[in-house]
Structure 1
Amino acid sequence: MQVKKIVGKKLKEIRLKQDMTIQILAEKSQVSSNMISRIERGLTIPSVEILMRLATVFDKSINYFVEDVSTSHEVVHTRPGERDKTVYDDEYNMHTESFTSGLRDPQFMSFYCTVQKGGSSGQQNMYHPGDELIYLLEGKLRMTIVDEVYNLEAGDSLCFKSHLPHRWDNVGDSDAKVIWTLSPFTII
């Protein structure tokens, strides 16, 4: 089953289970009702930020929406080249493989990312609930958090609260290899 179909099916299922209209979900998540409808019909894959907003409303991790329950497990072992390419590959010139794909409703997400030379998150800052940990294996990555710049080199790590406005750029002469871990916010 395609990822966008899984996400749409799971979103509609949990929304109806909680007797919630699309409009109420839109208000609670700050995601437009049109976008929610498109996601539920399997017409689009939501961005990480939108998925996190929706997940927060239901006290779930993002992976809840992208995992197929019949194929999720309590233990996942993967080898290089066997990891799922994730829904987060996008306009950032970044290739992403999930370490946590297939794990039943994890409370964190972790990826092996290859950020192409010149790759960037763009000029706009991003921010979302949760925490992030970046461990740079190879290359150079410039992280800007609020107005502070961190120039990461191989072996460096950076951990921060994801609600702080942040962005990144590959400033090296080659691809950057990164282990990126996100801990989605959950309502307590």
Structure 2
Amino acid sequence: MSDAPALPPSSMPTAGLGRAIRALRVERGVSLSQLALAAALDKGYLSRVERGLKIPSVAVVLRISSALDVSAAQLFGAAENHDLVFVTRAGDRSGLTAEDADYHMELLTRGSNGTGLEAFLMFPPLEFIEDHKVEHRGEELLYVVRGAVEVRFPETVLTLATGDSVQFPGPLSHQVRRLDPEACVLVVVSGS
């Protein structure tokens, strides 16, 4: 067990992702309403994300990146890198923290034009957020790196401990919450 703090610092940047989304949206000549529709999001919510007032879930980041036809890495400010080997150093990871939801995520992969493999470290909230059920493209794998979490699906709730994993189709509605302060989950989402 590491001596690292149980939760990442809450001083992580929150507006960078929103600025990147807005810049890409404007660059492509897409209105806020059009992007919200394409990503199946509420226009007001998307506006708050762009202004750095809300931190989207992994699934929402994936829906926005797909609607903009870019990788999640580009939304986090990473330049597209087409090298065969891609390394993400612990101290260099892009991270986002949502103060109001006690939620944090860090991007681990570079993605590739909105397709392929995307991975995140997620520090889930303590409670399920009722209006925040997740659905997205592809397949998803959750691997509990540390601590214990609950994963809620429409028909069941699973408790996963360190070393446990679950794989499921991304379009299946799901939510994750931590059961102890140090819980950290590796989230891997595959292609379209």
TM-score (norm. length: structure 2): 0.68
- Alignment partner for residue 142 of structure 1, among 131, 134, 150? 150
Q: Which runs of 5+ in 1 are unaligned?
A: none
Which runs of 4 or more aligned residues in structure 1 lie more than 6 Å from their structure 2 counterparts after TM superposition?
A: none
- Alignment partner for residue 155 of structure 1, among 158, 163, 170? 163
User: What CA RMSD, in Å, does the superposition of the two structures yield over aligned residues?
Assistant: 3.2
Establish whether residue 181 from structure 1 lines up as the match of residue 188 from structure 2.
yes
The equivalent of 1:83 in structure 2 is 93
Per-residue deviation, 1:160: 1.2
Which residues of 2 match residues 51-90 of structure 1 at below 5 A?
51-69=61-79, 72-74=80-82, 75-85=85-95, 87=96, 89-90=97-98
- Alignment partner for residue 8 of structure 1, among 5, 22, 25? 22
Q: How many residues align?
A: 171
Establish whether residue 171 from structure 1 lines up as the match of residue 162 from structure 2.
no
Tell me if the contact between 2:111 and 2:117 (Cα under 8 Å) persists in the aligned partners: no
Q: Secondary structure at the match of 2:136?
A: coil
Tell me if the contact between 2:150 and 2:176 (Cα under 8 Å) persists in the aligned partners: yes
Between Structure 1 and Structure 2, whose CA radius of gyration is higher? 1
What percent of counterpart residues are identical?
A: 19
Which residues of 2 match residues 13-162 of structure 1 at below 5 A?
13-14=27-28, 16=29, 22-32=32-42, 43-44=51-52, 47-48=56-57, 49-69=59-79, 72-74=80-82, 75-85=85-95, 87=96, 89-90=97-98, 91-100=100-109, 102=110, 105=113, 107-115=116-124, 119-130=126-137, 131-162=139-170
Q: Which runs of 5+ in 2 are unaligned?
A: 1-14
Tell me if the contact between 2:71 and 2:111 (Cα under 8 Å) persists in the aligned partners: no
